[in-house]
Amino acid sequence: MKKSLSLEEKEKLETIYYSYLNNPLIDRMKDVSMHRGSNCYIHSFLVAKLAIKRALRRKKELDLETILVASILHDYYLYDWRSDRSLLKHHGSKHPYIAVDNAKMDFDISDKVASLIMSHMWPINFKCFPKTTEARIVCNADTWIAFKEFLCSKVYKAKRVQKRQSMISELF
């Protein structure tokens, strides 16, 4: 870790993280299946952990709270695209908009968080380029976690879900 956080900064981030981790609204993401061996809830918290880890490696001063909240809510679209062909068609490019609408409805998110959610699917959602370092960190962390989930074989699916569930219980 290149950047070290003060105890106060660390506690602030942890408070935000746990407030989402233990939120019944966020719990609904557990019912949304993701790439192999994961669900939207586990996926989003893994992205959040990785994004914060990568942000702390940067020398540049970054908005960690925005990175954290945007990562947790980046896939807050709350529908199963596998269950309906019409949803599947434009899922890749449309779900960031739906996630932002849902997040605005359920949480008090900033415009900066909204813009990071919007750009997390670049280049699939070509119109929304991740312009800031924060946006690129969220976008890249999402791609990396999705890639790792995709590589997971079905045989080890149950084991991996358990492991991932325990991995997200703490932010640091």
Residues at the contact surface with Fe ion, assessed by CB under 5 A: 75, 142
User: Nearer Cβ to Fe ion, position 64 or 120?
Assistant: 120
| Least Å from the CB of residue 1 to Fe ion | 24
**Greatest Cα-to-Cα distance within the chain, rounded to the nearest angstrom:** 48
What is the residue-wise DSSP string for 64-125? HHHHHHHHHHTTTT-S-GGG-HHHHHTHHHHHHHHHHHHHHHHS---HHHHHHHHGGGTTTS
**Contact (CB, 8 A) for 115 and 108:** no
| Least Å from the CB of residue 6 to Fe ion | 30
User: Nearer Cβ to Fe ion, position 13 or 51?
Assistant: 51
Question: Hunting for tokens 């602030």 — which residue is that?
Answer: 12
User: Nearer Cβ to Fe ion, position 75 or 134?
Assistant: 75
| Least Å from the CB of residue 9 to Fe ion | 26
Which DSSP letter does residue 59 get?
Answer: S
| Least Å from the CB of residue 79 to Fe ion | 12
User: Nearer Cβ to Fe ion, position 134 or 142?
Assistant: 142
